[in-house]
């Protein structure tokens, strides 16, 4: 299969608060923000200059009878953000008010990492892979 992942969805309690967190604190850009008549607001964010979009799906929103509901709960998301310099990224996020866990980048055999959670508990690992 020749395919790329271009969009993932995370469920958030407050779509506007999530949008502000990702754009103002994490530094992502808003990619989409529309509210078609008769449909819920559709908001996506993502790393600048990349095709990937993260859809911020408002908890409790229904998009139709066929939409799955079992996994649509805030805080279920787990993601990895691969970076060139973990320490620099951690300091940049910290300067914007993001709480990191662990607070300082940790070195492991596979790379250097830290992480954060968004206000809804969705987990992000910041990873600087080890160069083999």
Residue extents of the structural domains in the chain: 7-129
pLDDT for the residue 125: 93
Which one is predicted more confidently, 113 or 37? 113
- Average pLDDT in the 37-43 region? 88
DSSP assignment of 68-100: --TT--TT--EEEEE-S-HHHHHHHHHHTT---
Which class is 7-129 in CATH?
alpha beta
Query: What is the per-residue pLDDT across 55-87, written as a single tens digit (0 to 9) for each?
Result: 999 988 866 565 555 556 788 888 899 999 999
Lowest mean pLDDT among 2-16, 17-31, 92-106, 116-130: 2-16
pLDDT for the residue 67: 56
């Amino acid at each position: 299969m020749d395919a790329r992942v271009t969009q993932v969805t995370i469920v958030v309690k407050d779509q506007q608060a999530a949008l502000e967190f990702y754009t103002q604190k994490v530094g992502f850009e808003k990619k989409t923000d529309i509210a078609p008549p008769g449909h819920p607001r559709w908001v996506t964010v993502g790393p600048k200059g990349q095709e990937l979009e993260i859809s911020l799906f408002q908890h409790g929103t229904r998009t139709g009878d066929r939409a799955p509901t079992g996994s649509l709960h805030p805080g279920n998301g787990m993601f990895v953000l691969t970076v060139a310099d973990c320490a620099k990224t951690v300091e940049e996020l910290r300067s914007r008010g993001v709480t990191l866990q662990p607070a300082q980048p940790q070195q492991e055999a596979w790379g250097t990492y830290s992480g954060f959670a968004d206000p809804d508990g969705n987990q992000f690992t910041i990873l600087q892979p080890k160069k083999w």
